[in-house]
Structure 1
């Protein structure tokens, strides 16, 4: 499903010949569940739980993938992708196996065969590419309305769950202060203790503002005809096809949610963190999305309030105290400064709505 540029990104750590051969043998075993005359097998992604192969067949290339998700979640996403492809949305179609099933189970994992999509990744420093990728996201959201998982497949949704998630996050940020106090000689921990309290308070205030907004009303409306959110949309999971079609790939993490969840995850990490809020880029991304899927003023206000929550700062702190990743104090200080800049710009925006 990925072109050469993306293949290079996932192949930075090279497999040993023995590791590669083991994965090729696995693919040879799995692909026997499908009716294909196999010519050659390439390992595209082999060092993660989600394995990807490019299978060259007499009918052209196809993609074999091992889904790295619990089976019930995998079935939700597999059926969602099949629904979208059959509807005509630009996602890779799923090729059924010999038993006309969308997947083959081998051990604890589900394996799926997709159409191979040729294309290039988007370059997000290029305005034209940025506009296209946002339009592709809007098209994905609108196309996904109407999906209902088959009987027996659980529904995965985040609709209405933002408040609880936010409470958990700011409580964790408060709890991590105790870990920082145990490291009096660590510059990161001391910088954290000296600056974190105002951000925890703003996170609490953001939750209050979210509950006072149209969030709950919007959730109630969307539940009637929910759309899917990709949850991991970006340049690694989208491609520009040869005829300027925007393809969305890697739908493993989809769930029902307000569309602005994907917008927040796309927009906020891309804005300038060098001391200036990039208003032009912010507007470019939002305008491009709305050219396909307009948002009401109240919906945009909900989005701006959600964007106020210090998600980027939270991720840095979690990396340090949960995953135990060594981080420089400058990384934390830059995250603090970004949240200050973001807060000022978004509060000005909210005041206009």
Structure 2
């Protein structure tokens, strides 16, 4: 282990009553660092946080609020003086309890429905949360249209650049061949959002807040040995409409299958609806978000912005081909979904 990382972890753990026996570096991504701690009293996770103290304080408040309303998430280990985080060399660290279990699998129908139901329960449990003085929460309410327009503009700009390029890569040619289809999706998505109840929903959500967990996927979930679903990575919480998370998990699942599956889509939304009831108008907002080519834009932006830098041209091309097929297949499925909303929303 890098001695600098080990020194920081040892200094931080020394402020707790844990009596660490072994410290293992699990991951290092930018400013975020994660260690596994083996102590006499059990196993723990130490995280160097990549967010401000105000955001950390909101995260601690949110964890208390969510667990008080039935959400399972690793507990916060506090210092002997009761602090929920430690500051060392101007960096902030939090220790979490470790949860024994397994990662859920999207290909396992029971696991998938447990994830969707867990997401719905998470949204229910977060309803009505406040932002205490001295804390800060990321808030994305009302930002969707601006985000869509920005991403649309980026696709247009890349198209114009490729049109003028004398030497095109294979990726350039693949992008240029299909970009007009996705520009149409962008425009239709923005039009749908304008025609939806999005603004009215946002106005209500500013008063009755709901938390969004934008990374509610298998990497941040554990099915514990007792069968409960535990949610990790609470430092990414924000205030937003709950269907933002639903859009992301649907895209995650469908891109693994390479094309959209209407039957699966209906089953997932029905499972969500059983736990967290939405109106037809709110599902129309979800559909507008799903129609936007987020997956296509994300992959293209990775290539043109050199993220991640170690990816080969062939890997970028292979991934883009798969996502093009996924994004094109969804249009028919989304239309069918809107025609069958009565199956999801049984009343009203």
Shared fold by TM > 0.5?
yes
1:100 to 64, 71, 82: 82
CA deviation map 1:155-180 (0-9, x unaligned): 32111110111010000111112332
Question: How do residues 50-65 of structure 1 correspond to structure 2 at under 5 angstroms?
Answer: 50-65=32-47
Task: Tell me the residue number matched to 2:326.
Answer: 338
Query: What is the rounded CA distance, in whole Å, between the counterparts of 1:352 and 1:327 in structure 2?
Result: 41
CA deviation map 1:108-147 (0-9, x unaligned): 3210111221111101111011111111111111111232
Post-superposition shift, 1:210?
0.4
Query: What is the rounded CA distance, in whole Å, between the counterparts of 2:69 and 2:119 in structure 1?
Result: 16
Contact 2:22/2:38, CA 8 A, preserved across alignment:
yes
Question: How do residues 35-50 of structure 1 correspond to structure 2 at under 5 angstroms?
Answer: 35-46=17-28, 49-50=31-32
1:119 to 81, 95, 101: 101
* Number of aligned residue pairs: 335
Contact 2:152/2:186, CA 8 A, preserved across alignment:
yes
CA deviation map 1:224-265 (0-9, x unaligned): 211111111111101111111111111111101111111110
Contact 1:120/1:239, CA 8 A, preserved across alignment:
yes
Question: How do residues 229-308 of structure 1 correspond to structure 2 at under 5 angstroms?
Answer: 229-271=212-254, 276-308=259-291
Q: Does 2:136 correspond to 1:154?
A: yes
Query: Which deviates further from its counterpart, 323-332 or 53-62?
Result: 323-332
Unpaired segments ≥5 residues, structure 2: 342-348
Contact 1:320/1:326, CA 8 A, preserved across alignment:
no
2:313 to 327, 330, 344: 327
Unpaired segments ≥5 residues, structure 1: 1-16
Post-superposition shift, 1:331?
3.7
Query: What is the rounded CA distance, in whole Å, between the counterparts of 1:333 and 1:37 in structure 2?
Result: 51
Query: Which deviates further from its counterpart, 169-178 or 100-109?
Result: 100-109
Query: What is the rounded CA distance, in whole Å, between the counterparts of 2:259 and 2:39 in structure 1?
Result: 51
Contact 2:254/2:326, CA 8 A, preserved across alignment:
no
Q: Does 2:9 correspond to 1:27?
A: yes
* Partner SS, residue 116 of structure 2: helix
Sort the Cα spacing of 1:44 and 1:209 in 2 relative to 1 into closer, same or farther, 3 A.
same
Q: TM-score, normalised by structure 1?
A: 0.87
Post-superposition shift, 1:202?
2.4
Q: TM-score, normalised by structure 2?
A: 0.89
* Partner SS, residue 269 of structure 1: helix
Task: Tell me the residue number matched to 2:345.
Answer: none
